[in-house]
Structure 1
């Protein structure tokens, strides 16, 4: 289906469209800001940036309501922002401040915000899938009516937790959407070297789960696929697997030299397949925004990030007497 037909079929109002574009811009500004803070020595450890994958986060979260849940990954900043998690507290968490979502103890890979249905990022590959299945089972058994959207990457599909989760969700007809962000590369190699199948989506059909592969850099395709999956789940028809093909502009983490792919390939994705530019062009062609408004959205997002950094830097460090609190063992 063409972008024009998709645009008409979705019938989104201008306010929603502008909000989604702004969220995509904010995610990119957030990641770019973190990169700068890391280089300045203000963030310790490592980070996994999602620059280039903004459409999957915003498009997948848009059809969800506040009660619907998500589980996230080590590359989860975009998911958190798209679900409505407070940006000020996110930066504070990354700077290890007490005002962070996890009081400065979780860091980049463990941001959670139960108030908006963000069940949390996870530093273990594929670990979010069984957690999502558990949340979906709770929704079904207690008749709570919410849907769970479980984000994971292509690397997770070779883990046992992926296959166990799909099998259980299928036989129990759980209200869950398995959303694979296939960015073509794991930590150190191409998905083609790791998996001997045409597409990850075929693995869903093996478990009797409706599955499809979409262009993850086209937010309209992401919204349509996710809307259909949400409707299916809320009708009691069980899970859906969506494989969204996308691309991360940065390395796997801050220590990744990206020797497994060419700089020419990276330039091509940035030039021709930028999800923000693609969405902007759709909105401009449909008279939703103009060039000046796009510039204003960028400035607004940049200012929001400046305020978030100020909030974090003016926050207190956790005190030593809280060292043993908020832990299980």
Structure 2
């Protein structure tokens, strides 16, 4: 089997022994804190007008991206949404490449042409970043169908929100995936709000896993604020898909701590509700569990914070220094090259 997605060789650095002793939980903590601190820096940079356009933050939902990617290999495909910074980082796309893209620089993972909502890395089989609600679902079905036609059952993982669940693309894709037995992993990040619309205001049946099961696929709900629970559920689903079990649906019950986007005044949620969910912060839950099990959390946290800070600082510095795309390339990739017809 191919290496797990997001893994890469790391040179020996101070604190490596601490990370080694922490084992798998240390890796999960590092991955979630890496996303959290990256997103927090994006808030600062956006406020300073370094990053422009729409920015949708993943703060609060880190357990989903990290836990799901635990179940994927580098050969599996991932299709994401416009809230995809966390997915991209967990997939293994370097923070420097993502930050440069946020800045619109030519060294970005999409050449500076995609920005926050259109991160892309074909080498890592990360196929967006899609600004259209539910727009990635048919694409994921196509990738899964291509694999099936080649006799492969490696999972294609498609992330989408509860708002996308109300779109026709989801239901068409779910029906075809079940009908054709596609190796497709549906990961619904149910954060209870489709932009500013509460789930019970746009869905008559709010048990999304139950409704997905009506298409004839395995489906269940998961505590999306528990990274270990997410990893177990995603691992179970991915293993079944690889064995020819067809599509699976995971409803990740999670919550975003920030507004829908940096432009959103966030007036549709009660402050007390946000605080209740913050009490279930996935990072805190993992560290609390580690403390209960007698693991050296404080030393680990210092080590991880140092590593993450160094990486994010380096990513910002590289983005600041990266070149803009030359004006003469303005029309590149806009239209296809003419095909000679003989």
Q: TM-score range by the shorter chain?
A: over 0.9
Secondary structure at 2:208's aligned position in 1?
Answer: coil
1:16 Cα deviation from its structure 2 partner: 2.8
Paired residue for 1:116, among 94, 115, 124?
124
Structure 2 partner of 1:257: 265
Q: Structure 2-normalised TM-score?
A: 0.90
Match status 1:188 vs 2:213: no
Structure 1 partner of 2:4: none
Paired residue for 2:106, among 98, 102, 108?
98
Provide closer, same or farther for how the CA distance between residues 296 and 160 of structure 1 changes in structure 2, counting only shifts above 3 A: same
Paired residue for 1:201, among 209, 212, 216?
209
Structure 2 partner of 1:57: 65
Structure 1 partner of 2:94: 86
Distance (Å, rounded) in 2 between the aligned partners of 1:115 and 1:285:
40
Structure 2 partner of 1:9: none
1:282 Cα deviation from its structure 2 partner: 2.0
Paired residue for 1:300, among 307, 315, 324?
307
Distance (Å, rounded) in 2 between the aligned partners of 1:276 and 1:56:
12
Partners of 1:83 and 1:117 within 8 A in 2: no
Structure 2 partner of 1:322: 329
Structure 2 partner of 1:177: 185
Provide closer, same or farther for how the CA distance between residues 327 and 213 of structure 1 changes in structure 2, counting only shifts above 3 A: same
1:145 Cα deviation from its structure 2 partner: 4.1
1:144 Cα deviation from its structure 2 partner: 3.7
Partners of 1:112 and 1:119 within 8 A in 2: yes
1:280 Cα deviation from its structure 2 partner: 1.4
Provide the alpha-carbon RMSD of the alignment. Answer: 1.3
Partners of 2:28 and 2:227 within 8 A in 1: no
Partners of 1:98 and 1:317 within 8 A in 2: yes
Distance (Å, rounded) in 2 between the aligned partners of 1:29 and 1:308:
12
The number of aligned residues is 316
1:19 Cα deviation from its structure 2 partner: 1.6
Match status 1:133 vs 2:141: yes
Distance (Å, rounded) in 1 between the aligned partners of 2:147 and 2:290:
36
Greater shift in the superposed pair: 105-114 or 142-151: 142-151
Distance (Å, rounded) in 1 between the aligned partners of 2:139 and 2:264:
28
Structure 2 partner of 1:15: 23
Distance (Å, rounded) in 1 between the aligned partners of 2:42 and 2:177:
36
Provide closer, same or farther for how the CA distance between residues 18 and 252 of structure 1 changes in structure 2, counting only shifts above 3 A: same
Partners of 1:97 and 1:317 within 8 A in 2: yes
Distance (Å, rounded) in 1 between the aligned partners of 2:325 and 2:291:
46
Distance (Å, rounded) in 2 between the aligned partners of 1:84 and 1:288:
27
Greater shift in the superposed pair: 221-230 or 275-284: 275-284
1:14 Cα deviation from its structure 2 partner: 4.5
Distance (Å, rounded) in 2 between the aligned partners of 1:198 and 1:321:
51
Paired residue for 1:149, among 150, 154, 157?
157
Partners of 2:22 and 2:300 within 8 A in 1: no
Q: Structure 1-normalised TM-score?
A: 0.93
* Deviant stretches of 4+, over 6 Å: none
Distance (Å, rounded) in 1 between the aligned partners of 2:242 and 2:185:
11
Match status 1:312 vs 2:319: yes
Structure 2 partner of 1:28: 36
1:288 Cα deviation from its structure 2 partner: 4.3
Paired residue for 2:230, among 217, 222, 229?
222
Distance (Å, rounded) in 2 between the aligned partners of 1:287 and 1:119:
40
Distance (Å, rounded) in 1 between the aligned partners of 2:211 and 2:85:
27
5 Å-filtered alignment, 1:247-286, equals: 247-270=255-278, 272-286=279-293
Secondary structure at 2:239's aligned position in 1?
Answer: helix
1:294 Cα deviation from its structure 2 partner: 1.1
Distance (Å, rounded) in 2 between the aligned partners of 1:284 and 1:113:
37
Partners of 2:32 and 2:66 within 8 A in 1: yes
Distance (Å, rounded) in 2 between the aligned partners of 1:198 and 1:184:
9
1:170 Cα deviation from its structure 2 partner: 0.3
Secondary structure at 2:188's aligned position in 1?
Answer: strand
